[in-house]
Amino acid sequence: MNVINTHIAHRPIRFAALAATTLAALTACGSDEPADGASGDVASGEIAVRAIDYAYLDLPDQIRAGSTFTLSNASEKEVHEFVAIKLPDDETRSAAELVQLPPEELGAFMPGVRTVVIAPPAAEEGMAVVGDGTLSEPGRYLIVCVIPTGADPAEYLEKAATSDGPPDVAGGPPHIAEGMFGEVTVVD
Protein backbone atom coordinates (compact mmCIF):
# COMPACT_ATOMS: atom_id res chain seq x y z
CA MET A 1 0.00 0.00 0.00
CA ASN A 2 1.32 3.44 -0.83
CA VAL A 3 1.43 5.54 2.31
CA ILE A 4 1.56 9.32 2.16
CA ASN A 5 1.67 11.83 4.99
CA THR A 6 1.47 9.30 7.79
CA HIS A 7 2.75 12.09 10.04
CA ILE A 8 -0.74 13.56 10.11
CA ALA A 9 -1.95 10.53 12.05
CA HIS A 10 -0.52 12.15 15.17
CA ARG A 11 -2.11 15.56 14.60
CA PRO A 12 -5.61 16.37 15.84
CA ILE A 13 -8.06 15.30 13.16
CA ARG A 14 -10.45 18.16 12.51
CA PHE A 15 -13.43 16.36 11.05
CA ALA A 16 -16.22 18.03 13.02
CA ALA A 17 -16.25 21.28 11.04
CA LEU A 18 -16.21 19.58 7.67
CA ALA A 19 -18.68 16.99 8.89
CA ALA A 20 -21.11 19.73 9.83
CA THR A 21 -20.74 21.25 6.38
CA THR A 22 -20.73 18.14 4.20
CA LEU A 23 -23.23 16.17 6.25
CA ALA A 24 -25.83 18.93 6.22
CA ALA A 25 -27.25 17.45 3.02
CA LEU A 26 -27.57 14.04 4.63
CA THR A 27 -31.15 12.80 4.74
CA ALA A 28 -31.78 9.07 4.63
CA CYS A 29 -29.35 6.49 3.38
CA GLY A 30 -28.26 2.90 3.40
CA SER A 31 -29.80 -0.15 4.91
CA ASP A 32 -29.23 -2.55 7.75
CA GLU A 33 -28.24 -5.29 5.29
CA PRO A 34 -24.62 -6.45 5.42
CA ALA A 35 -22.33 -5.36 2.60
CA ASP A 36 -21.75 -7.76 -0.28
CA GLY A 37 -19.41 -10.52 0.81
CA ALA A 38 -20.14 -9.99 4.51
CA SER A 39 -20.50 -13.10 6.63
CA GLY A 40 -20.38 -14.27 10.22
CA ASP A 41 -16.76 -15.40 9.81
CA VAL A 42 -13.88 -13.46 11.37
CA ALA A 43 -11.52 -12.17 8.68
CA SER A 44 -7.84 -11.53 9.33
CA GLY A 45 -4.63 -10.46 7.64
CA GLU A 46 -4.86 -8.12 4.68
CA ILE A 47 -8.49 -7.45 3.81
CA ALA A 48 -9.22 -6.09 0.34
CA VAL A 49 -12.32 -3.89 0.19
CA ARG A 50 -13.68 -2.61 -3.11
CA ALA A 51 -15.39 0.76 -3.47
CA ILE A 52 -18.10 1.33 -6.04
CA ASP A 53 -20.53 4.21 -6.53
CA TYR A 54 -21.76 4.25 -3.62
CA ALA A 55 -21.00 1.20 -1.50
CA TYR A 56 -18.26 -0.95 -0.03
CA LEU A 57 -17.97 -4.50 -1.33
CA ASP A 58 -16.25 -7.35 0.53
CA LEU A 59 -16.42 -5.54 3.89
CA PRO A 60 -16.53 -8.30 6.52
CA ASP A 61 -18.69 -8.06 9.63
CA GLN A 62 -15.78 -8.99 11.93
CA ILE A 63 -12.00 -8.86 11.69
CA ARG A 64 -9.14 -9.88 13.96
CA ALA A 65 -7.26 -7.07 15.71
CA GLY A 66 -4.19 -6.12 13.69
CA SER A 67 -5.81 -6.78 10.32
CA THR A 68 -5.10 -4.28 7.56
CA PHE A 69 -7.57 -2.92 5.03
CA THR A 70 -6.66 -2.07 1.47
CA LEU A 71 -9.07 -0.18 -0.77
CA SER A 72 -9.52 -0.48 -4.50
CA ASN A 73 -11.91 1.72 -6.44
CA ALA A 74 -14.01 0.33 -9.29
CA SER A 75 -15.58 3.72 -10.05
CA GLU A 76 -14.69 5.38 -13.32
CA LYS A 77 -15.48 8.90 -12.06
CA GLU A 78 -15.57 9.21 -8.25
CA VAL A 79 -12.73 9.18 -5.75
CA HIS A 80 -13.65 7.10 -2.67
CA GLU A 81 -12.26 6.73 0.83
CA PHE A 82 -12.40 4.24 3.67
CA VAL A 83 -12.66 6.16 6.95
CA ALA A 84 -12.72 3.89 10.01
CA ILE A 85 -14.17 5.61 13.09
CA LYS A 86 -13.88 3.83 16.45
CA LEU A 87 -17.25 4.02 18.19
CA PRO A 88 -17.56 4.34 21.97
CA ASP A 89 -18.01 0.98 23.70
CA ASP A 90 -21.46 2.00 24.95
CA GLU A 91 -22.74 3.01 21.47
CA THR A 92 -25.48 0.58 20.41
CA ARG A 93 -27.02 2.29 17.35
CA SER A 94 -26.46 0.69 13.94
CA ALA A 95 -24.40 2.32 11.19
CA ALA A 96 -27.66 3.17 9.37
CA GLU A 97 -28.94 4.96 12.47
CA LEU A 98 -25.67 6.80 13.09
CA VAL A 99 -25.35 8.25 9.59
CA GLN A 100 -28.85 9.70 9.91
CA LEU A 101 -27.86 11.78 12.94
CA PRO A 102 -27.75 15.57 12.58
CA PRO A 103 -24.30 16.67 11.33
CA GLU A 104 -23.17 18.07 14.68
CA GLU A 105 -24.01 14.78 16.45
CA LEU A 106 -22.30 12.61 13.83
CA GLY A 107 -19.33 14.98 13.87
CA ALA A 108 -18.85 14.19 17.57
CA PHE A 109 -17.63 10.70 16.57
CA MET A 110 -14.95 12.04 14.20
CA PRO A 111 -12.14 12.22 16.81
CA GLY A 112 -12.39 8.41 16.82
CA VAL A 113 -10.92 8.21 13.29
CA ARG A 114 -8.23 5.52 13.26
CA THR A 115 -7.39 5.20 9.59
CA VAL A 116 -8.24 6.80 6.25
CA VAL A 117 -7.45 5.18 2.91
CA ILE A 118 -8.24 7.11 -0.29
CA ALA A 119 -8.48 5.56 -3.76
CA PRO A 120 -8.82 7.53 -7.00
CA PRO A 121 -11.14 6.28 -9.77
CA ALA A 122 -10.16 2.93 -11.29
CA ALA A 123 -7.40 2.52 -8.67
CA GLU A 124 -6.07 -0.93 -7.96
CA GLU A 125 -4.88 0.22 -4.54
CA GLY A 126 -5.52 3.24 -2.35
CA MET A 127 -3.20 5.46 -0.35
CA ALA A 128 -3.32 5.63 3.44
CA VAL A 129 -3.34 9.25 4.57
CA VAL A 130 -4.11 8.63 8.25
CA GLY A 131 -2.69 5.55 9.91
CA ASP A 132 -1.74 2.64 7.69
CA GLY A 133 -5.04 0.84 7.15
CA THR A 134 -4.58 -1.35 10.24
CA LEU A 135 -7.24 -1.65 12.94
CA SER A 136 -5.71 -2.98 16.14
CA GLU A 137 -8.08 -1.76 18.85
CA PRO A 138 -11.04 -4.11 19.51
CA GLY A 139 -14.52 -2.62 19.20
CA ARG A 140 -17.06 -1.40 16.67
CA TYR A 141 -16.07 0.86 13.80
CA LEU A 142 -18.24 2.98 11.54
CA ILE A 143 -16.87 2.94 7.99
CA VAL A 144 -17.79 5.97 5.88
CA CYS A 145 -16.93 7.91 2.75
CA VAL A 146 -17.56 11.65 3.23
CA ILE A 147 -16.07 12.81 -0.06
CA PRO A 148 -18.47 15.18 -1.80
CA THR A 149 -20.30 13.63 -4.75
CA GLY A 150 -18.75 14.83 -8.01
CA ALA A 151 -15.55 16.14 -6.39
CA ASP A 152 -12.62 16.43 -8.79
CA PRO A 153 -10.42 13.38 -8.01
CA ALA A 154 -7.11 15.12 -8.79
CA GLU A 155 -7.98 18.14 -6.65
CA TYR A 156 -9.15 15.93 -3.79
CA LEU A 157 -6.00 13.79 -3.82
CA GLU A 158 -3.74 16.84 -4.02
CA LYS A 159 -5.43 18.51 -1.05
CA ALA A 160 -5.58 15.24 0.94
CA ALA A 161 -1.79 14.99 0.73
CA THR A 162 -1.39 18.13 2.86
CA SER A 163 -4.63 18.35 4.84
CA ASP A 164 -5.05 17.94 8.61
CA GLY A 165 -8.53 16.52 7.96
CA PRO A 166 -10.92 16.06 5.09
CA PRO A 167 -9.96 18.33 2.19
CA ASP A 168 -12.34 21.19 1.45
CA VAL A 169 -13.33 20.68 -2.19
CA ALA A 170 -16.37 21.51 -4.31
CA GLY A 171 -19.05 18.90 -4.88
CA GLY A 172 -22.46 17.69 -3.83
CA PRO A 173 -23.63 15.76 -0.77
CA PRO A 174 -21.13 13.39 0.84
CA HIS A 175 -21.08 9.80 -0.41
CA ILE A 176 -22.65 8.55 2.83
CA ALA A 177 -25.80 10.41 1.75
CA GLU A 178 -25.83 8.03 -1.22
CA GLY A 179 -25.48 5.00 1.11
CA MET A 180 -21.70 4.59 1.25
CA PHE A 181 -21.21 3.41 4.82
CA GLY A 182 -20.75 0.20 6.73
CA GLU A 183 -19.70 -1.27 10.04
CA VAL A 184 -17.03 -3.69 11.18
CA THR A 185 -16.24 -5.15 14.58
CA VAL A 186 -12.63 -5.76 15.55
CA VAL A 187 -12.11 -8.74 17.89
CA ASP A 188 -9.02 -10.08 19.70
Q: Which domain CATH number covers 44?
A: 2.60.40.420
User: In the predicted model, is pLDDT for residue 144 greater than 70?
Assistant: yes
**DSSP line for the chain:** -EE--GGGGGS----HHHHHHHGGG--S---SSPPTT--SSEE-SEEEEEEETTEEES--SEEETTEEEEEEE--SS--EEEEEEEPPTT----HHHHTTS-HHHHHTTGGGEEEEEEE-TT-SS-EEEES-SEE-S-EEEEEE--PBTT--HHHHHHHHTT-SSS-----SSBGGGGT-EEEEEEE-
Amino acid identity for residue 112 in this structure: G
- Which has the closest alpha carbon to 121: 51, 27, 28, 29? 51
Taking the C-alpha atoms of residue 133 and residue 113, their distance in angstroms, rounded to an integer, is: 11
Q: Which tens digits make up the pLDDT trace of 33-91?
A: 444 444 568 999 999 999 999 999 999 999 999 999 999 999 999 999 999 999 999 99
pTM beyond 0.75 = yes
Number of domains making up the chain: 1
What is the domain range of residue 79? 2-187
Taking the C-alpha atoms of residue 137 and residue 84, their distance in angstroms, rounded to an integer, is: 11
User: In the predicted model, is pLDDT for residue 117 greater than 90?
Assistant: yes
What does the pLDDT average to over 161-180?
90
What does the pLDDT average to over 93-113?
93
